[in-house]
Chains A and B, each alone.
Chain A
Amino acid sequence: AQSVTQPDIHITVSEGASLELRCNYSYGATPYLFWYVQSPGQGLQLLLKYFSGDTLVQGIKGFEAEFKRSQSSFNLRKPSVHWSDAAEYFCAVGAQGGYNKLIFGAGTRLAVHP
């Protein structure tokens, strides 16, 4: 069965530091992969997505993610974190039986210290 694992429940970084959020997936075929961000009290906003082609994808707000098939990973990165990046981040994979069924990870909550 397909699944998504985000190993880090909570991460704290200093403003200006680099960031990497981990995501590992289990899926029987080529996955569709997504990163969403949720600010407190808000809905989920799409940061970026991978369907095919270039394995390094660029998203909004300066985020990027790299698809590594050999490691079943889709880690999210940002070279310099801003205080406004504090939020919860969700990785999701398109599920079998319909690419439009998403399976979400448990989320990683990011705190940013000034």
Chain B
Amino acid sequence: DAGVIQSPRHEVTEMGQEVTLRCKPISGHDYLFWYRQTMMRGLELLIYFNNNVPIDDSGMPEDRFSAKMPNASFSTLKIQPSEPRDSAVYFCASSFLSGDTDTQYFGPGTRLTVL
């Protein structure tokens, strides 16, 4: 399996612009997670989906952030408008429920820089 795929790997944009991050989970996985990693706050869970349905978006920082999962093989995280404080590495992860256990597999991340 190719693992979790994220694009782009690097994104540089200017404040106020719209940014869209993309994720393709591992085939067959039914959970998808979006995380943000910064030096100050470490790894934070932003939102997660189960079977394409958002389950918990309590970690989404503000209304400028939105996430969608239109089908089992694709998800987007959008920031509109972007601000310099959004600069971070954004990770997507996916997992599959087997019994009462699961393991999250992470993508390589998208490094976002907002100027």
Q: Which of B1-30 contact A (CB under 8 A)?
A: 4
The reply to whether A32 and B56 contact each other, CB–CB distance below 8 Å, is no
CA distance A107 to B43 in the complex (A): 9
Given contacts A100-B95, A101-B56, contact A49 B45 (CB under 8 A): no
A residues near B107, Cβ cutoff 8 Å: 43
Q: Which of B54-112 contact A (CB under 8 A)?
A: 55-56, 91, 93, 95, 97, 100-109
A108 to chain B, nearest CB (A): 12
With CB as the reference atom, state the residue of chain A lying closest to B59.
Answer: A101
Given contacts A99-B100, A102-B104, contact A43 B91 (CB under 8 A): yes
A56 within 8 A of B: no
**Contact with B48, one of A46, A90, A100 (Cβ below 8 angstroms):** A100
A106 within 8 A of B: yes
CA distance A102 to B100 in the complex (A): 15
The reply to whether A44 and B91 contact each other, CB–CB distance below 8 Å, is yes
A residues near B45, Cβ cutoff 8 Å: 101-102
CA distance A42 to B109 in the complex (A): 7
How many residues of chain A have a CB within 8 Å of chain B? 21
B residues near A102, Cβ cutoff 8 Å: 45, 104
Given contacts A98-B55, A100-B48, A104-B42, contact A43 B101 (CB under 8 A): no
CA distance A98 to B33 in the complex (A): 13
List 28 A-B pairs, Cβ < 8 Å.
Answer: A32-B101, A34-B103, A36-B106, A42-B108, A43-B91, A43-B106, A43-B107, A43-B109, A44-B91, A44-B93, A46-B105, A49-B103, A51-B100, A51-B101, A90-B43, A97-B56, A98-B56, A99-B101, A99-B102, A100-B31, A100-B95, A100-B104, A101-B48, A102-B45, A104-B42, A104-B43, A106-B42, A107-B42
Interface residues of A (CB under 8 A from B): 32, 34, 36, 42-46, 49, 51, 90, 97-102, 104-107
Known: A51-B100, A90-B43. 12 other contacts (CB 8 A): A32-B101, A42-B108, A45-B106, A51-B101, A98-B55, A99-B102, A100-B31, A100-B33, A100-B97, A100-B102, A100-B104, A104-B42
